Every structure is written in C-alpha cells, then in structure tokens.
Structure 1
Amino acid sequence: MFDPHCAGRRRVLASIGGLVAAAFAPPALSLPGNSRTPPPGERLETLAQLPPPPPALRRALEPLRGKAVLVNFWATWCEPCRTEMPALVSLAESEPGLALVTVAVADRTDEVRRFFDEHLVDPLLVNDPEQVVSRTWDVRYLPTTVLLDAAHQPLLRVRGEIDWHHDSVRTRIRSAATSLRTPRT
C-alpha cells in the first residue's frame, strides 16, 4: 500500500544524501575546466598501424610523398566536422611540411564543394560515398583525423572534434610529423 508520508520522507532523505555527497566531493571533480583536465593535445592517440589505404586515398596521398599528412574524415551534415574544418585548413597552411586530405564520408559532392566555396577553403578531397576508405581504416566517428608521417605511415589519431588552434595540439602534431621513424619491414 502506498504511504504518501513515507514517500515524502524518502525524497527528503534522498535530497539530503545528495547534498552531503556533493559537499564532500573532491573539488577537482566538481569544477569544470579543473587542473586535472588534460590539454587537448593529449586526446591525440598514438597509432601503430593501419591497413594500406584504398586506391582513392592512395591516389590522393601519392603526390604528397615526403610530407606529413592529416587525413580528416568528415561530412557536411556533421556539425563538429564543419566547425573544425577552417582550423584544420589553417594548421596545414601554417606548417610547411604538412598537408591536409579530407575524406567526405557518405556525402554528396555538390554539398562538399558548396561548403568549401562558402568557407573559401580548398583542401585535397577524396569522396567516400560508399564508405570504402572509412571502413578500411575503421572510422566509426566523425570527425576522425589521422596523422601520417612523411612516408605515410600512421602516427596519431583523434576521434571527435578537437581545437586545432590549441598550442598543445599544434606542438604534438609538429613534433610527431617531424620525428624520424624506423622504416617498417
């Protein structure tokens, strides 16, 4: 049988319990932007290997041999992708040894061109309407960006939007892109 007085007491006790828990929570856990929040550059995960690029991506990478490459998987219908694209273009333009290749995942070519025209950017584009490239490289989130070294071997990956203007991101990209790696056999 339902007792409204008992239910009211439970709600009051639950509220008091929540307030007590919040009062004793460590301050670093309760404040956004606390000192324990890692810089965005730490979101770039080290990548040991990837399958060989499918033909469409391989053709786009070939003229960029000798340059590190950011391969950005995105779509015009993905708002975080649209938001970060100008910063990615800016990063690639500001680093002489770095190029940008965009992979338009499940997108229409006319929409992609319209977006680039509206934002006055013109990165190298690989259309991936059937998601061949993204499936080969196991891209499940948009945006996803992979950094390849000058020999086009994978170095780093970030899943999701990131602040490409942040110093920690630029430093990590610059450091990884210029590091010498032992060739794979």
Structure 2
Amino acid sequence: MQKGFLILLFSLILFAREIPQDLLQKLHLQGAKIGVVDFFASWCHSCRFEIPRIMDVAHKNKDVKFVGVAIDDNPSDAKRFVNRLGIDMPVVYDKEHTIVSWFNPVGVPALYILKDGKIVGNIIGAHEDIGELLTQKIESLR
C-alpha cells in the first residue's frame, strides 16, 4: 500500500512540474501546445525498436513538437545512430546530462508528454505498442 502511494505521489509531483523556459528553449519546445521529449541512447536496443514507430506518430501529428534527447557520452556515437535510423526530428545531444538530470528518467527509452510547458504524462521503458500508446496520450490532450 505504501509503495503504491509513493509512486502516485511522485507521479503527481512530476506531472505538475512546469519546465523552466531555458530548458524549453534548449529542447526547441518554447510555445509548443503539445510536445514529446524522447530520451534515447545509441546503445539502447529498445530505442532502436521504438524510434521508427515514434517517428511515424510524429509524421502523423504535425501540430505536436517532437524532440529527441541523446544521452550518449560520445556525441559522435549519437549522431551516427541518428543518421543510421533516419531520425528527422530535432535532436539535442545532452553530453553534460543537464536535460536528463532535470527530467530524471529511470532509464531509456523514456518519453515525456508536455502540454503548455508542463509534464502531463510519460511512457517509460520498452513497449511493443509504443505507437498506439503515444497516439492515445496525444489524442487525450486535444
């Protein structure tokens, strides 16, 4: 019972959190009505599976701003990964881990859904139905 309560409390604190303007600017999300932040790494096998499906959702939802955050220590590894997968959303190379420190995901892949500069949802870990899950979350915000 206590564990469930703590998870609920943490979720409420996280989801009520407004993202600072300087961070929104780094993420190219200033002024976005709905945004999706995708944390990934070149060494993450689940990320390789999910990113093409996330890109499909992005292409079908032009009014939603998508941005990737590569958490690799070596930006050239991340850039090769981005090029190999044909990722065409903006990607921030978070070598100093300032963005990942603020969001503090428990692992990758990790998606954060934003509305008007506030975190309103997330999808953490690998999901075979990531496209459907993400589409449902986006549709619920419209």
**Using the alignment, how far apart are the partners of 2:102 and 2:126 within structure 1?**
21
**Using the alignment, how far apart are the partners of 1:139 and 1:56 within structure 2?**
16
- Kept in 1, the 8 Å contact 2:47–2:109? The answer is yes
Q: Deviations over 1:116-142 (max 9, x none)?
A: 222222211111122211111121211
Residue 93 of structure 1 pairs with residue 51 of structure 2: no
Q: Which runs of 4+ in 1 moved over 4 A?
A: none
Residues 72-151 of structure 1: matches in 2 within 5 Å? 72-149=38-115, 151=116
2:125 to 150, 156, 160: 160
Which residues of structure 2 form unaligned runs of 5+? 1-10
**Alpha-carbon distance change, 81 to 57 in structure 1, aligned in 2, over 3 angstroms:** farther
Give % identity: 23
SS at match of 2:138: helix
- Cα shift at 1:67: 3.6
**Alpha-carbon distance change, 92 to 59 in structure 1, aligned in 2, over 3 angstroms:** same
Task: Name the residue aligned to 1:172.
Answer: 137
> Is the radius of gyration larger for structure 1 or structure 2?
1
Task: Name the residue aligned to 1:15.
Answer: none
**Alpha-carbon distance change, 54 to 83 in structure 1, aligned in 2, over 3 angstroms:** farther
Which residues of structure 1 form unaligned runs of 5+? 1-44, 179-185
Q: CA RMSD in A?
A: 2.3
- Cα shift at 1:164: 2.5
**Alpha-carbon distance change, 111 to 53 in structure 1, aligned in 2, over 3 angstroms:** farther
- Cα shift at 1:84: 0.5
